[in-house]
Structure formats: C-alpha cells, structure tokens
Chain A
Amino acid sequence: MATLCGRGAAPPPPRPLQAPPPRPAPPSAAGAGAGGQDTMFARGLKRKCADSEEDGEGALAAFRAAPSYSLQRQSLLDMSLVKLQLCHMLVEPNLCRSVLIANTVRQIQEEMTQDGTWRVMAPQTAGQAPLDRLVSTEILCRSAREVEPPGPGSGDGHALDLVSELSTAPSAQAPRSPQSSVWEVDSPRESRGGFPKSLDQIFETLENKGPGSVEELFSDVDSPYYNLDTVLTGMVGSAKSSHGDALEALASAAAPPPSSSCKDLGELDHVVEILVET
C-alpha cells in the first residue's frame, strides 16, 4: 500500500503532486532521453503527508496546474493494463515482468478501493471478485489475441527488447483506446466505451466457439476466474509433483476425467493430456 502516513491511519485525501499534467495516452516514447520525456511523475508516484518534494530541474517552468494524484494514479493503472495486454504470444511472455506489473495494478486497485474511487462495472459473469478479475490478465491477453488481429509488430515476438518496438505496440492498440479502464467509472475520458465492449465480445467469443483448439477447452470450464498460468505460460506441463520428474508425471496416463470446475492446473494437465493422446 503506497501510504506514507502509516498504516491504520485514515489515508489523507489525495494531494496534488508537484508534477505536470499527465499525458492521456501511453506515449510512443523513445528510449533515449527518457528523462526528457518524463513529464509525469517527477519523482515517481507517491503519496506524501507533506508536500516537501523538491521539483526537478526546470520542472516548475513546465507545469501549468498540479493535476490530481488520482489522475496520475489512473494513468499508471492504464499503462500497467496495457503492458499486461502486450501478449504477442509468439514467445512466452516473461512471467517475472507480468507478476510485477500485476502486483502494481493490485496495489493501485487496493489504494483506490480505500479511497472509495474504485467501483466495479457490472461483470458479465456474476460472482467475480474485483480483485480476481484484476488478476485475470488472461482476459486481457485474449483480447489482444482474438478480438484484434495481431499488428505488424507482433510478428517479431520480442516487443519488450527495444523501446522502439514497444512504441509501435501501443499504437497498434490505439483503435481500442487502451488507456480506458473497464473498471474505472469516474474516469473523465470519453473513449472508455471501446474497452468494455471488447470485453463483452471476448466473453461472447469464448462461449460461442466450438471445441477445437486446446484453449477453448478452458473457456467451457465453468470457473469464475482464469488461471494466470494458462495465460502467461501456456497450459501444459506443470505436474503437481513435488519430487521427481515432471516428464514422468506427465507420461503417467492415470488421469481422472475433467470435472466441470477444474480450476487447478494439475487437472487441466490431465485434460490436455487426454486430448493429445486421442
């Protein structure tokens, strides 16, 4: 929790930081001169009890009005969600990076919940806890895969290596207004409509697709939330063996039939195994 005034105390109202207004869209920033592009978050996003922050060199001249902390926080949330969506899926995404971004998103969400600025839009599937849906990056990754055809930049599969490649990815997502958050109700932005709609489309798509690829198998499963593992690192392989060989565990074909609510990856393993062997 990014609260500096101590845990347990009522969080102070968001204070304007000495920083310029945030940019609405993730910029196509160049790698070099990142400092020059850093018009937001002069010192990283913090909540302080007292505005004792020094401004960066020449920063005062660039500021017009101190924007609200929640606006900056919203931008960070949007940026993080975009990052989680960049699952080009040609190469398996970096799990460490995804976990760190997801943790950041969770932090922001927790703080927003405390502030009372967090409100969950009516979910398509009832009973989903907002926290779990946040972690459902699977939805976000699927949206990149199924709803929008991969852009030209997705072919290289190494979008994370160089900044220039990263800058093309947000523009590929631009038609879907990636900066909109489906969960933010009081966002001032107008282009929000695109995102929830595509989320609806995702759910429809998942339910209507007939059995075919391995992935659809999991959409049929009546589980309230998706397995992070299936998204980020694929569906197969992690046998629940504490010792011994993962390979041996996979090879053993003594698999029970899949239950309708198989959330555990071990059971999904068996399901996939059966599919493959038939």
Chain B
Amino acid sequence: DIISTVEFNHTGELLATGDKGGRVVIFQREQESKNQVHRRGEYNVYSTFQSHEPEFDYLKSLEIEEKINKIRWLPQQNAAYFLLSTNDKTVKLWKVSERDKRPEGYNLKDEEGRLRDPATITTLRVPVLRPMDLMVEATPRRVFANAHTYHINSISVNSDYETYMSADDLRINLWNFEITNQSFNIVDIKPANMEELTEVITAAEFHPHHCNTFVYSSSKGTIRLCDMRASALCDRHTKFFEEPEDPSNRSFFSEIISSISDVKFSHSGRYIMTRDYLTVKVWDLNMENRPIETYQVHDYLRSKLCSLYENDCIFDKFECVWNGSDSVIMTGSYNNFFRMFDRNTKRDVTLEASRENSKPRAILKPRKVCVGGKRRKDEISVDSLDFSKKILHTAWHPSENIIAVAATNNLYIFQDKVN
C-alpha cells in the first residue's frame, strides 16, 4: 500500500511507517554484533498493526479515509514504546510492548485457559514466568476523536511530554495525553463567513524545547509563531514570517506554489525550515522578514506550472527534514528523486530511490536533470520525469546518517557507506 508517513523514534532504534490502508509498520534496528562490525544494524519488521479503519460519516454522507496522515513518537519512558497516529479525523495513542515471558501454573485455570473444576484441585502451586517466543503487541491506549471538523494535517508532541497538538485546515487543538474527551482549541482561523475563506493551516509543530511555543504554516506561504502564555486562544501571533513576493516571478500560480506544505523546527530550536512547491527555506526565528537560506529543489518545473496545475501535481505536499546536527536538510521531488542540501558547504545532491538503479549496498549515484540544450549521457530531461513517482515523505535518523525514503509503496533505507 502507499506509504503516507515515515518517522524515526527519538533514539533511532525504531522506524514507523503509516500507509493509505490505515496500517502502521514498525521496523527495529538490529543490534550491531561485535562479530560483524562491517555490517551495520539493519532494520527489520518489528510490529504491524491496523491503526485506523475506514469510517462513514452518516451525517455528511462522506467516507473518512483510514489513511495515516502522521505518526509521532513519544519519548520512551519505560519498556514500552508509545506513538501517536492520526487519520483525517481521529488521533490514537498506541502502546507497543514486548512480551517474552508468560505465566504458567495457574491453579484455577488449565494451560489453555479453561476453568478447572474446583473439586479436582488438590494442591496449590505458585505460577511461574516461563520464557516464550518474543511477541510484540500493539494496543490502542487512547482514542482522541470528534474534535476536528476539517482534515487533520499535523500532530506534534510537546516537550513537556504531557500534551500534544493536532492541527486541521482551520483549527489547532491542544490535548492532554490522559484526557480524551476534552481538548482546548488554541488556534481558530475559520472566518465567520466561510465565503471569506482564503487561507488554511497547512502544518504545525511545537518548539523542541519551549513547551509554550509553536508554529503553524499557511497556504499563503506565511508562518506564525505563537506563545501560549500570551493568551488562551492564540489567534494573534507572536511572530509572523513572510518573504516579500518577487515581482519578476509573479504569475497566476504564485500563490499556489508559495503554499507551505511542511514546517519543521531545527533540533536546536533556533531555526525553522519550510517547504513550498519549488523551494526549501530556512528561517531564523529572530528574523521575520525573510528566510536566511533558500534552496531550489526543482526550479526546472517553474516553466511547467500550468501542466502541473492541470494534473494536480502542483498540489503535492512534500515534506522536509533536518539531519541530527541541523547541517543538512533533505526533501523529495519527482521521478523518485530526493535532494539533500548541505547548509555549510552549500553543496547539494540529487539521488534516486528506485530498485533498478540501486542494489543493496550499492552506492547511490548522484542524478542530474537536464534543463535545456544537449543532454549528457546520464542526465534525464525534464520532459522524461515521471510525475507519478513522487517522494513526499522522508525521515532522518536523529543522530546517525541513516535516512528513510518512501517512494509510493516502497520504503528505502540508506546509510552512510562504511569505510
């Protein structure tokens, strides 16, 4: 099924994917053994479960898709793992735990669990725990439902580990993990008259260290930073990030391509990165009037915007990620290409995630798109790009150079080459 979200947990030991069918698949990195030093830990399937089912809203006569829009991990606090997964309407907290022992020797039940006839019990024994094959079980611990009229596009766990937020097109709600029948609305941009609606929320995230601060991006290419200490309803932003429009590039598609599809805080908390249709931008939180860095992802598409509008590709929502040290940023493109930008050296690379072009352990070859003129041997021309092969979701290990790239229904995991 088509992968719709990819996320490493806080240690990088686990990698979760959600798909269009509502399933979550968790991969675990195998322990590196001393015997095979040259073989780095690889990711194997750890657990698979059905997170969301399709639902039908009878009042609106509409289906609610089971597609998992986002997964976010909670930091680990005990032996079990916890993650949030959400579809368009409902957020669920899942507990993933291991069981490798089981009790044996009950008095009142036999080994199959059937009740024993009390008359046959002549002695008492103490049940003991015996080892069993490792079983990983996922159980839904909380269901946070009925709080969103519109489609949820983001969830973000707060640094206090007690609350999280969920954002839909027009509203952002704050939840406490323990309470499922109440949530606080902290942002509401729904106009009194829906005819006046011209802007929607596209993504939202909490600051990694300051539990009172969060940002949300809009379809008009703006980012608002809000402080929850200022007021209960954060309709008035604390900071407003917007780049002035470039008049030389103005067209009927300007607004659409300025719509931000993803916003991510750097690990340091000092920067935010935004992805719009053609670029990735890095903003300093202390400077609102323009980004400090802008990277062109696939500027050769600028002359094709009308076709891309026609086939709806212009509405594709690409995500972007930081590496662990905030020195490299990565985002996806078409033709199963993904791009990495080194912020320090200003070098960038285009790589391809495809079976034909990469065997296991083969080093990825940089790819190049030829814009005009003569095409070199290894280059691919813009007109040959496959726009149905889009890389929307990628993830970067929190501390190592391991990346996960979702190409439609395939997951690729790449690592630094081992010397």
| A interface residues (Cβ-Cβ under 8 A, vs B) | 2, 4, 26-27, 29, 31-38, 40-46, 56-57, 73, 76, 79, 83, 89-92, 94-97, 99-100, 102-104, 107-108, 132, 135, 157, 160, 162-163, 166, 214, 225, 227-230, 233-238, 241-248, 263-265, 272, 276
Contacts and interface: CB of A to CB of B under 8 A. Distances in A.
A57 B65 CA distance: 43
A215 B76 CA distance: 48
Contacts of B193: 227, 263-264
Contact of B151 (A73, A95, A248): A95
Given A32-B386, A79-B310, A45 B252 contact: yes
Nearest to A238: B149
The DSSP consensus for interface residues of chain B is loop
A243 B252 contact: no
A90 B309 contact: no
B306 A76 contact: yes
B200 interface: yes
Most interface-central of B62, B251, B312 (chain A CB within 10 A) = B312
13 contacts: A34-B308, A34-B310, A38-B307, A76-B309, A95-B170, A100-B315, A132-B195, A160-B312, A229-B194, A235-B59, A241-B185, A244-B184, A246-B146
B63 A157 contact: yes
A221 B348 CA distance: 57
Given A103-B198, A245-B182, A236 B387 contact: no
B63 A238 contact: no
A210 B355 CA distance: 58
Interface in B299-331: 302-313, 315
Interface of B: 57, 59-65, 88, 146-151, 169-170, 181-185, 188, 190, 192-195, 197-200, 202, 219, 232-233, 247-248, 250-256, 259, 302-313, 315, 372-373, 381-388
Contacts of B256: 100, 104
Given A4-B250, A29-B311, A95-B170, 4 more contacts: A33-B383, A79-B309, A92-B60, A243-B184
Contacts of A36: 383
Contacts of A237: 149
Given A34-B311, A38-B304, A100-B259, A244 B182 contact: yes
B303 A56 contact: yes
A34 B250 contact: no
Q: Which 9 A-B pairs have the closest CB atoms?
A: A234-B60, A41-B306, A35-B383, A229-B194, A237-B149, A44-B251, A38-B307, A34-B307, A228-B194
Contacts of A4: 247-248, 250
Nearest to B186: A243
A228 B312 contact: no
B306 A227 contact: no
B60 A235 contact: yes
A2 B387 contact: no
B252 A26 contact: no
Given A35-B385, A91-B62, A238 B259 contact: no
A99 B305 contact: no
Given A43-B302, A45-B252, A99-B198, A245 B183 contact: yes
